[in-house]
Chain A
Amino acid sequence: MSETASDTRITAEITRIPLHYPHMRNWWLLFGFSLVLLGCFFVAAGALFLNGVGMWGNNIPVNWGLAISNYVWFLGIGHAGTLISALLLITNARWRNSLNRFAEAMTLFAVVCAGLYPILHLGRPWLFYWMAPYPNTMTLYPQFKSPLSWDFFAVLTYLTVSLLFWYIGIVPDLASVRDRAKTRRAQVLYGLAALGWRGSARHWARWQQAYRLTAAIAVPLVVSVHSEISLLFAAGPIPGWTSTVFPPYFVMGAAFSGFAVVLMIAVTLRHALSLRDIVTERHLDLLARFLLTTGLMTAYGYVYEVFDALYGGQKQDLATLHDRFTGLYAYSYWGAVIFNFVPLQLLWFRGIRARPAVLFLIATSVVVGMWYERYMLLMTALYRDYLVSSWGEYHASLWEWLLFAGMIGVFLAPFLLFVRFLPVISAFEVKEALRETGDLSHA
């Protein structure tokens, strides 16, 4: 942040974006593209509703397929938003303030994508509410010892908490946009969304208590949600899914992929919205360090998994390990190792961490690598069970790929609307942090 940062300028710089969006043409191009993808989603999901999951390539023994590996992947991406926002808030790392708002929005939309996948995978998606425990005439309640039921509660809780945390965080900035809006329509809409926030000190005191408490609760929530996802695997008696490293391995992988997406978004927004004063090179540098750290932690999971199979010496576990290295889906194992960890090593160098374009490419590689990892964990374990009679192959059908493309649209379209219409950076928290360090001047 430049030394002359005044609170007037910060507010102006951030609230100008929703009120007078720069580069409307680029936005429309991207939004049009995301609408096309969103169209793919409706086509693929509509076809699925009409014809059932028989359109997909998954069948016994591989009955999870792309739907569940993407579910884990999307949910993992979402976790970084909460970690950046909540963990860095309670540890008082003030640099988070330039990143937390759009990272939280990323969480929100990634969790929506993640939540849709298991529902679409249900076979009869329109009966998804059967997972909720409600008084019914079937004299039947959900099986609470089943991972499907854990999923329902974990995703529901995570989605609700992410939404509330993001919303109470954005209310003061919505008030700021309301106060700067010139047209009647903008005043009314932002005014309604801001709930009549007037910056009263009495409100701020309770707001701060609520915000910090929610953050403190959100951190263990992230750990619990992705640990729960890993228990989905570990609750099944499948070779290759029983290592005790699974919960931390999944949580770290989640943070790793999510930081990569946050880095991609930070580089893009910084460039597209000219936010170089607010998202500085220092922020990109810190994000890159986080990426490197969580990447190395994830790499530890890979090493431990191999060690676990070798040390345990179970025949089936060794066979799964062998299949990972050389089997039908070995490409996904090596894809994960190479895309995740090879370009990552460049981040050891300060010079690389200062180059946004290179950071973007490394982050993209990590996102691809983590996708391979989720796919690899499912395929290599499921396609060879204990008995030869339950061996089988899985190849994703075109409909599954179409749905995947559509899900990217489900993520991108609302995210672009967020970038266009809401304050993408937390203006008041940036000012608060600058005041504490004494770098804020007043007009």
Chain B
Amino acid sequence: MKFFALLAVSVTWCLLIYAARDFPDFAVPDSPANGGKVSNYFLEKTEENSHVPNVVTAVLADYRGYDTMFETVVIFTAGIAIMAILRMTPGGSTGSGALPPAVPRRKRTFDGSELIVSGTCKLLIPIIQLFALYVIAHGHHSPGGGFQGGVILGASFILLAISRNLDAALQRLSEKRYLMLASVGVLIYAGIGVMSLLLGANFLDYGILSQILPATDAAMARSHSMLGVEVGVAFTVSAIMFAIYANLSTAGELKNGL
């Protein structure tokens, strides 16, 4: 069996190396990535279409809005699937039909009262969260955006759960609250799309929103809706990241985690 696996892997490797010879070299001016019609259009027209200096964010949130919306839905679905597999019901049986644990649960020995660890994290967590909000809000002017900022925001809650205990983090972001945040994020994104649909344009065609946003032209409406969309992505991603951690570290029991 191992021989066939090795054979399959080596044949695929040879094919990939053979195909890689057709790639353009680094920094060739007329390769599709550098000088194609599409990327030149984005580079030239983004500033004019939406006043957004960071072209990557403009492509992700505006030109390819569908892609990013369903990426957010994928994150949401992954989190819901992990909860469906791991989360215990209050009666004591697991959600997926009372499977016994494969290995005995380990006990956490660190109770979160160490001065240096808790003091450092108490100082760090607000700064991490502030930085996450900056990454979200400034995503279309500098590298970053809803996804990265959301992950950093979720990581700050994970740090709180690790440095003290899971209860401290769950007090601030309870199960009900993170499920609600995750759904609200997808709702914000899809809602902005539906709003432009209701005003008579295509789904996620933000330019038309200048009719209801005060004192904006079509380009600025695109920029502002990109911010709204990024906020939606950040809601979902941060809530789901914390939810995955809380369920994975406690095997779905949501107490005495890592």
Q: Do A and B come from one complex?
A: no
Residues in B lying within 8 Å of A, measured CB to CB: none
Residues in A lying within 8 Å of B, measured CB to CB: none
